[in-house]
Structure 1
Amino acid sequence: MTAPPPHESDRPQGSDRPHGATRPGGRTARTRAAVLRAAWEELGSQDFAALTIDLIARRSGVHAATIRRRWRTVEGVIIDMLGQHSGTIPIPDTGSLRQDLHTVTRSIADFYASARNRRLVEAVVTSAAREPGAAEVMRAVFKNRIRRVAVLLERAVERGEIPSDTDAEEVIAAIGAPFYYRLLITRRPIDSRLAHISAESAYLGAVEGVFRTGTAPE
């Protein structure tokens, strides 16, 4: 399965631009495209731990010295690739928060059905731990994504489904957390049951006011 094309708002902007990233057009842009495509193809057949600059150079036709000069490390290449292959999250509008959340979690499950996409997540997390600045880029990408998905909660508030002070970011985190726990900790397959549980848990918690801001357990 090939990852869906990136949504523009999922890409880091301004000072968050990763190593090697340039404005579109010209030889520099073609070089970047070749390197990122090669890294993506390599992840289709092997884990991140086996990925090297030399492998990317051979597949891309770009000299290893050029890759090292622009991205410095494999981690730099991976983080630059994040905006292109992190997938897009649908913004459904079914008229029901429950159905909207189930649509989102099914999309996440479909994305991670691909071994290459699972390897990308592992690579991004590892890179963020190793490469200076990579963690900031990763946070920027996911912050943009959360901002887009938050509209689901805003609509639910307008419909009176959930409290007006519901913390949208926490609801979205509750949706995604089970997937990343499964991917990175227990390393078990992503399936439809996980998608169902994630959506239902987040929905029921939101309806019951679990995610209201300014509240704390007694």
Structure 2
Amino acid sequence: MNLDEATPGSIRPGGRTARVREAVLRVAGDLLAEHGFAHLDLTEVAAAAEVGKTTVYRRWRNPTGLVIDLLSDMAEQSLPHADTGSLLGDLTANARLVAKTLTDPRQGRLFQAVIAAATCDEAAATALRRFYDVRLTEWAPCVERAIERGEVPEGTDPRAVLSAVSAPLYYRLLASGDSIDDAAAATAATAAMNAATAGTFT
């Protein structure tokens, strides 16, 4: 079954319904960042968003439905890819964007909560994979242009290059606890570019 058919919150209406969705997702994101997925309660979300509880349960059904729609909204709101004229410039811009997101007091905790949800709920995991698919697709032209300029070999996999940029930063967030600063972002971008130049991702 298609995920949009199986889960609520997938319709993108306008008017009052759009305002309800915006309010509910804003509150859901705040509560996820503050308390985590395990404590996300639809009744609490409805009250904080000043939306009828019946409306929230009918549209999103459960906390997973909220996470799925929140991820969809985050993908829609994400910034477009960079075009600096060089692969290193573009990958550095990507790394800095990831670092900025992960170190933001709200967004960093929100991503931790969403990733935690994905580890125990297959629908949330599918939504998370779809979110990153959108982001990788958006930034793939950076690598494709680098191939055209001859910076990296033909057949270089754009998604593999971009994943290599963000992976060390997520490792710092979720595992090591090391600082996610500009130096870490620059190192991740340079390492990914060097590997791509060497043909690692063909």
Write 1 or 2 for the structure with the bigger share of helix.
2
Matched, 1:96 2:86: yes
Aligned residue number for residue 112 of structure 2? 122
Q: Closer, same or farther in 2 for the Cα pair 1:80/1:187, shift >3 Å? A: farther
Q: Closer, same or farther in 2 for the Cα pair 1:206/1:89, shift >3 Å? A: farther
Determine the C-alpha separation between the residues in 2 that align with 1:19 and 1:188. 37
Aligned residue number for residue 41 of structure 1? 30
Q: TM-score, normalised by structure 1?
A: 0.80
Query: Per the alignment, in what secondary structure is the counterpart of residue 163 of structure 1?
Result: coil
Aligned residue number for residue 97 of structure 2? 107
Matches within 5 A, 1:51-70: 51-70=40-59
AA of the residue aligned to 2:168: P
Aligned residue number for residue 136 of structure 1? 126
AA of the residue aligned to 2:115: V
Map Cα deviations across residues 30-54 of structure 1 (whole Å, 9 max, x no partner). Answer: 3322211221233464444443223
Aligned residue number for residue 11 of structure 2? 22
Q: Post-superposition shift, 1:105?
A: 0.8
Aligned residue number for residue 151 of structure 1? 141
CA contact (8 A) 2:33 2:110 kept: no
Q: Percent identity?
A: 39
Map Cα deviations across residues 51-91 of structure 1 (whole Å, 9 max, x no partner). Answer: 32232122012233432332222222122111223552442
Q: Post-superposition shift, 1:92?
A: 2.0
Query: Per the alignment, in what secondary structure is the counterpart of residue 164 of structure 2?
Result: helix
Count residues in correspondence.
199
Q: Closer, same or farther in 2 for the Cα pair 1:148/1:59, shift >3 Å? A: same
Q: Post-superposition shift, 1:123?
A: 2.2
AA of the residue aligned to 1:38: V
Matched, 1:186 2:176: yes
Q: Closer, same or farther in 2 for the Cα pair 1:165/1:132, shift >3 Å? A: closer
Q: TM-score, normalised by structure 2?
A: 0.86
Determine the C-alpha separation between the residues in 2 that align with 1:188 and 1:51. 28
Q: Post-superposition shift, 1:171?
A: 0.6
Which stretch shows the higher mean deviation, 112-121 or 47-56? 47-56
Which stretch shows the higher mean deviation, 102-111 or 148-157? 102-111
Determine the C-alpha separation between the residues in 2 that align with 1:100 and 1:29. 34
Q: Which runs of 5+ in 1 are unaligned?
A: 1-14, 213-218
Aligned residue number for residue 20 of structure 2? 31
AA of the residue aligned to 2:21: R
CA contact (8 A) 1:205 1:211 kept: yes
Matched, 1:166 2:175: no
Query: Per the alignment, in what secondary structure is the counterpart of residue 112 of structure 1?
Result: helix
Aligned residue number for residue 207 of structure 1? 197
